[in-house]
């Protein structure tokens, strides 16, 4: 029978790739050095366990380049212990959710579904138009939001004092060519001061 199954005809159900056998003679193609080359760190056992970014012992790139501010600095991005994140609410959202003369507070914003948490600061932004006079209380406001709220006849109440940015001091520039520079020396100034001092009327008697 041609279709009779014998031991010589046995095959796996799925095709299998033979395992690479290294160090089995020069004729195998992977003998002698087993495909690792001659000497060096990569020819040793355990060389595949080096961490990512390892550069042979020299200072790796991630340590050589400059670093940006981290999540533990006070002026960091909204991550880390010093969080600066706030929940934004635009004035256009106040226009559609509140009636004229209403008091807008973080509690009323949450009940209206405009913010999710009360423990996170609320910042009012100036996106959109506002025609209703509202009394808005929030932790911070943008400049355009304050202008639009007050222009509509409303009032703004800061729940936290606004942070004033420090201005950088620039070095004094050199005097302009048109300005006159006092070129008097120190000796001339001392002589002028001595001339202005009044002389003593009483002189000490000679011994």
Give the residue from 98, 97, 104 showing the smallest Cα distance to 123. 104
Does the pLDDT of residue 140 top 90, yes or no?
yes
pTM of structure: 0.45
Domains of the chain: residue spans and CATH:
87-158 (3.100.10.10)
For the stretch 68-100, pLDDT in tens is: 666 665 555 555 555 567 899 999 999 989 999
Decide if 115 contacts 93 (C-beta within 8 A): no
Residue 123, strand partner residues:
88, 140
Name the pLDDT band for 11 (thresholds 50, 70, 90): confident
């Amino acid at each position: 029978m041609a279709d009779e199954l014998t031991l010589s005809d046995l095959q796996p159900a799925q095709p299998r790739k033979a395992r690479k056998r290294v160090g089995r003679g020069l004729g195998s193609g992977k003998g002698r050095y087993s495909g690792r080359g001659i000497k060096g760190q990569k020819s040793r056992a355990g060389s595949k366990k080096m961490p990512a970014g390892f550069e042979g012992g020299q200072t790796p790139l991630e340590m050589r380049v400059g670093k940006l501010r981290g999540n533990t600095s006070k002026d960091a991005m909204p991550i880390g212990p010093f969080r600066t994140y706030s929940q934004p609410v635009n004035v256009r959202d106040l226009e559609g959710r509140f009636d004229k003369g209403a008091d807008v507070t973080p509690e009323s914003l949450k009940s209206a579904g405009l913010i999710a948490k009360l423990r996170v600061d609320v910042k009012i932004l100036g996106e959109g138009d506002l025609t209703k006079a509202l009394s808005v209380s929030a932790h911070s406001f943008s400049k355009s939001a304050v202008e639009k709220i007050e222009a509509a006849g409303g009032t703004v109440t800061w729940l936290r004092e606004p942070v004033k940015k420090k201005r950088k001091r620039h070095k004094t520039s050199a005097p302009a060519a048109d300005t006159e520079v006092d070129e008097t020396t120190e000796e001339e100034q001392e002589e002028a001061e001595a001339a202005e001092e009044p002389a003593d009327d009483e002189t000490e008697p000679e011994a």
